[in-house]
Chains A and B, each alone.
Chain A
């Protein structure tokens, strides 16, 4: 577990309702309504907390015939605090984590439900969103300009600007009216 993951885990645990949810799940796996009844919380509040617990890696869920059942991820909870403290920081991993965190922040700010809200003014941020859009293009395929526009338009109405920027960022290449995705260096 990285330091940031450990911090996220402790932050998640520092909430009485979430602690009570975990206490209930120690006894048995449960579904949202049952937890809500037991803890005297609304079902949507319980869902909210379960989402956070899932993101922190403390809880997992599985669909059954009628309900989604939640259970503890016991392997994570069995990690001792001392083990976490003994872990040596991995510089490369930390750097990678910082980059991933920054990337996520940019994507959260500029995308909502898979649609781009606006084109970032900063080049570094725009590069990140263009990389995401580029993932919709297959490497081996050749695209017409119309096909390129349609793919980009799924993300944002101003497909012309994004198409041009993808070319200038080296994510797409063009010859005449044929486009293709460029392998990342």
Chain B
């Protein structure tokens, strides 16, 4: 999983950065900022993956387990923030938390698929 997963994160981050630049050039600065948020979330989980690999060097299944736990834990606060924002009609916060959770969904769908394929 690890090499493919790192490639997945690298690709996604590069796509976000590219899109961010395009949006900046088009004078869509807020949307460019949203791409930056997406890139940051991918980067957080890329770091988590690296940490998992270092911690469980050679033990892929434990590293995967560690990563999966963090993939549930970290977004829990974003999910709570989204619920709170929705209850208060805070459009900006709703949008930002939704973006972060959409990235998590993308990671969940792709990273485990990558792992499954390898196995």
Contact = CB atoms under 8 A, between A and B. Distances in A.
Q: Do A and B bind each other?
A: yes
B6 interface: no
Main secondary structure of the interface of B (DSSP, over half): helix
A83 interface: no
Nearest to A11: B29
B28 to A, nearest CB: 5
B16 interface: no
Contacts of A48: 30, 91-92, 95
Given A113-B88, A113-B90, A17 B31 contact: yes
Given A51-B91, A113-B84, A44 B98 contact: yes
Nearest to B88: A113
Interface string B8-48: 00000000000000000011111100100000000000000
Contacts of A52: 30
A44 B94 contact: yes
A47 B26 contact: no
Q: Taking each of A16, A41, A47, which has the highest tally of chain B beta carbons within 10 Å of its own beta carbon?
A: A16
A47 B95 contact: yes
A45 interface: yes
A175 interface: no
Nearest to B87: A113
A184 interface: no
A15 B94 CA distance: 20
B92 A51 contact: yes
Q: Taking each of A47, A48, A52, which has the highest tally of chain B beta carbons within 10 Å of its own beta carbon?
A: A48
Contacts of B27: 14-16
Contacts of B31: 17, 41, 45
A24 B93 CA distance: 25
Contacts of A45: 31, 34, 95
Nearest to B96: A48
B95 A15 contact: no
B28 A17 contact: yes
A23 B88 CA distance: 29
Interface string A17-57: 10000000000000000000000010011011111100000
Interface of A: 14-17, 41, 44-45, 47-52, 113-114
Interface of B: 26-31, 34, 84, 87-88, 90-92, 94-95, 98
A-B CB proximity, top 8 nearest? A51-B91, A48-B95, A113-B88, A44-B95, A16-B27, A16-B28, A17-B28, A47-B91
Given A45-B95, A48-B92, 5 more contacts: A15-B30, A44-B94, A44-B95, A47-B91, A48-B91
